[in-house]
Structure 1
């Protein structure tokens, strides 16, 4: 996997963004969460952060958006740090589903009835129940503090309007959570667990924040500035594997072929991706394709990966 000078990337990045922006026209912003329907349809931005600390940005990279499913990568890591692998994977599986991220079909059809992986909603809700804390507020605060450290940004916070919108309209997630509770998978009070889940999905970030979080993963869990270990290397390996196999919903196989980088998307249009040992990447493009991934954002990553020969495969 070649390494390119950041200056070379800076010279070309704006052109790549503008070449990919028209692809947003064929996508749709998420409307099942009413607040997300207000997102700017044609926005597209990207931030890349190199392990040296140098960065490159282009497009609408200053727009703030909620992390949504991108937060699932980091709640998984926090649950692993709290409980260890054996306990976490007693409740959540390790395999792709091939179904939509909010499907509960296989919970009933495939025994033993645990979610297939931590990146789908059922898995992420279960993971939220495994993070330690004496109250939903404490659990959420631990997640937020963890993300602030990884992003190097103490100003990260919850978008209260999106949180309320998700909480008020999240009936399918409630159905999933109560089904998990009935099957003995979910521990604790269901509404408390859902409150944590809705809140961590509603944490706001921008492309630079995502790039910094991704760079920690690209560096094997080390703070890229100080070399301090923030995440055990083993848990970074697990997270990057799930990003590769499940991170782009049921388009993860296609993304692996076309882009070839670990990534995680969210229905707000964000994508967190990384080039191992080199770059953290944050993308924002709220117009989604039919799989729930940023239409223009995916195209942009395809172009960059192809032009820079970044695929791991």
Structure 2
């Protein structure tokens, strides 16, 4: 919905809390407006009044404040620390009851929920907010995860700086610190979505035309002090040709990728799976071929 046509609903609460609209002109009434409103809890806090609709504002305004209640700091000249303020729904306020506070709908079907502005534990105002679409939050949280995912940092053995070797297994891995779940979040007024990406597979594309090799886990790094393994690890590849046969005559255009399994969890317990994500780092694989030299007796 275009911002210019956005409907923002403002609560005008009556004398039970001594609320005033702080210099605001009366809001224009529309059909079925005002809507009666009342709320109370066991602690004796109550509010009676009505709800009117403001079709003109494009921003959500906290324009109604309880007389005598804590207010935000006006600047450096204000005494004492600024109050700690949060928005809470009626449900979050705890035990209580309300009449006429059913969630309204805008003409386009978008639901709004009534929230209280709570500063230092005291209710200082009320406001209707449009319910944030969970799909929008899910998309935002997924984007947050994408930004956080690290590019794979290849760890190859033999050391690629010295060159890989034909017919000798190349071990590939990523640092253990990169093999951890990554979470992104998005939230709005009590509704939150967390998207978590968990690394599940490592893939090495050798770049020489052979099929990529995929293995589970972060791979194994070569330890020259360890006993020689009986077989090469799953995260390894054996080049058959030197990289002088590559198109550039120098190196094979290899790459190392991590596949991430992605899940989401929303406030209220809703959860699900999303399409997997992949991060990739290019590798210039210089592969040498050494000829054995046999000596003859003199």
**TM-score, normalized by length of structure 2?**
0.20
Higher relative helix content? 1
Higher RCO structure (Cα 8 Å, ≥6 apart): 1
Larger radius of gyration: 2
